[in-house]
A and B are shown apart, each in its own frame.
Chain A
Amino acid sequence: MPDQSSSAPSAAAIETFELSKRYGRTTALAGLSMRVEPGEVFGFLGPNGAGKTTSVKLLLGLTAATSGSGTVLGAPIGDRETRRRIGYLPELFRYQSWLRAREVLRLHAELARLPAGRRGAEVDATLETVGLGDRANDPVGTFSKGMQQRLGLGAALLGSPELVFLDEPTSALDPLGRTEVRQIIRTARDRGVTVFLNSHLLSEVELVCDRVAVVNRGRVVASGTLDELLGEQAVVLRVSDLSAEARTSLDRFGTVATDPADPEQITIRPIDPTQIPDVVASVVLAGGRVHAVAEGRETLEERFLELLGAAPDPEGSAAAHRQIDGGQPR
């Protein structure tokens, strides 16, 4: 359990005010203002070049801000002692190829100034957590990219930090590895660790994050919980043989709208997803024939593209609607 006694319970894990970074004439970050609460998994989404990695480097004090300010774990950005309570997996994860996996973690345990008596046990436990227990004494130079990323994740989680920055933590992992990393992130959250997840993998963010910020061209363009970001839940049905009266009666579940271009397609919004089976039963009882049912809420991908001002891919968008029942997605 991380020691959070040094920061007030109400204090933000991260708070920034108009943080900006310019490299010569290039603006990498135009004015980042955000707040990350303690103990949450915060997803930082954005296209390539949006300023995600620059933001993480600024928050860690690896690069200096051109303007703006902020705090991390209650201390000003860049405070050296605060870094004892922070873990970091860089996007460009590389570790000394001539060191063994155990030695890399030992090095980080020493640099993080973990108590000498705790280091060995911490290193062993972390190697097991990231699935490298049986490769502990192998040189890092013999590791695959995926294994090096696991090692980096281990280095970031070493010593129970209060805040962990994970920059694209699954970029080199196979689907099984990604699932394991998601579980590791959830376990860390359960222990009270704040996780700042930098990613462009929308599905990954959707599956583990409590709150999300979308960054584009160096600015946060939207933030909030997934529910806040994706809007109201809806259900889309394709039905035939349903009378106008029966169709109107469905408004007890939510506002009913019919697609003018396709009269067989109706959308009910907002709706509690647990009521979707009742909607289907009502249609069937009224003599209607149900051909397809799909959750109608925007996917994160659609919302993301909308925020970025890009047109969603119609095929991808249709496929993204999660199918509940038989038939074709709309």
Chain B
Amino acid sequence: MSSIVMPLLVIFRLTLLDAFRRRILWVLVVLTVVVVGLSGLGFERLVSLARANGSSETVIQLGVSQMLIVVAFMFSFILAMTAAFIGAPAVSADIDSGVLLAILARPIGRSTFLVGRWLGLVLVAGTYALASGLLEIGAMKLASGYGPPDSLGAAGAIALQAIIVLTLTLLFSTRLPSIAGGAIAVVLFGMCWIAGVLGGLGIYLKADLMEQIAVVSRVLLPTDGIWRGAIFALEPQVVIAVASEGGRSSEQLAANPFYASAGLSLVYEAWVGAWFVIVLGLAVLSFRRREL
């Protein structure tokens, strides 16, 4: 057992040390604080102006929650790109540079190395995503006085999206050069989001094919599915109540890419868990067969 756990912990710690010693992580942290600060100021100005103009608190809450969802989407895209940026060179750069030759000549299995690296990257990317998501939500709450019903759930879902992209990029990293793997992961992330939007339109337009494409894309790469969960966690009850008013059908509501009428189902959450096992398993298989 120690022949697996000990090397795994060594690689896990090495991955954390690598992240902390690189300036890029600290640059990201500083940029995040700046972005959160500026967006908080923006929220504060918008809410102050709305109140000065006599808008009702319900309208302000609706506006703030929709704005937060748009900001969260931008955040999730940045985090997905960051995750791809972190994950893409995680194996390929060490193969190309030759660093891995000396490490894998030691009594450590390739699967142990890969899982240790994945755990380290998940901790770095997940912590960064969760902390920056909560910081943004907290800044908005401070500026406007309104907070989403499930801050942790929303930030967690956004962090999970980043971890999904990271895991997919790690799989690519066992075979592809860093730039290619990262670029493909970001493109797939964007395509899945577009497929989700088209799927919503498909429901509204009763176009089965568009709807099915969204379902398939959410199974193959669950980032958009998880994003729907993040939206739901960010929506106060008043949004759902207002959205359902005025005789709007559920088909009409589905056409709005920044609205979700339900959270994640248990079945889908279970599938996301299985997705991690499958993709990580594929990464291990791919890495085991990779010539060094």
A23 in complex: contacting residue of B22, B106, B291, CB < 8 Å: B291
Q: Which residues of B have CB within 8 Å of A181?
A: none
Q: How far is the CB of B67 from chain A (nearest CB, A)?
A: 40
Binary contact readout A68-90 vs B (1 if CB under 8 angstroms, 0 otherwise) = 00000000000011111010111
Q: Which residues of B have CB within 8 Å of A108?
A: 102, 106
Query: Do B291 and A111 touch (CB < 8 A)?
Result: no
A143 within 8 Å of B by Cβ?
no
Q: Which residue of A lies closest to B290 (CB)?
A: A63
Q: Which residues of B have CB within 8 Å of A84?
A: 106-107
Query: Do A83 and B107 touch (CB < 8 A)?
Result: yes
A98 within 8 Å of B by Cβ?
yes
Question: Which DSSP category, helix, strand, loop or mixed, fits chain A's interface?
Answer: mixed
Q: Which residues of B have CB within 8 Å of A113?
A: 2-3, 6-7, 107
Q: Which residues of A have CB within 8 Å of B291?
A: 23, 63
Query: Do A98 and B292 touch (CB < 8 A)?
Result: no
Q: Interface size (A, Cβ < 8 Å)?
A: 31
Q: Which residue of B lies closest to A156 (CB)?
A: B102
Query: Do A94 and B107 touch (CB < 8 A)?
Result: no
Q: Which residues of B have CB within 8 Å of A99?
A: 17
Q: How far is the CB of B165 from chain A (nearest CB, A)?
A: 24
Known: A81-B107, A110-B10, A112-B107. A88 touches B22 (CB 8 A): no
B34 within 8 Å of A by Cβ?
no
Question: Which residues of A pack against B, CB within 8 Å?
Answer: 23, 57, 60-63, 80-84, 86, 88-90, 92-96, 98-99, 107-108, 110-113, 152, 155, 165
A-B pairs with lowest CB-CB distance, top 10 = A92-B98, A111-B106, A88-B105, A90-B101, A94-B98, A83-B107, A98-B21, A94-B97, A110-B10, A60-B105
Q: 27 A–B contact pairs at CB < 8 A?
A: A57-B101, A62-B292, A63-B292, A80-B3, A80-B109, A81-B3, A82-B107, A83-B106, A84-B106, A88-B101, A88-B102, A88-B105, A89-B102, A92-B98, A93-B98, A94-B102, A95-B99, A96-B18, A108-B102, A110-B6, A111-B10, A111-B108, A112-B106, A113-B7, A113-B107, A152-B102, A165-B105
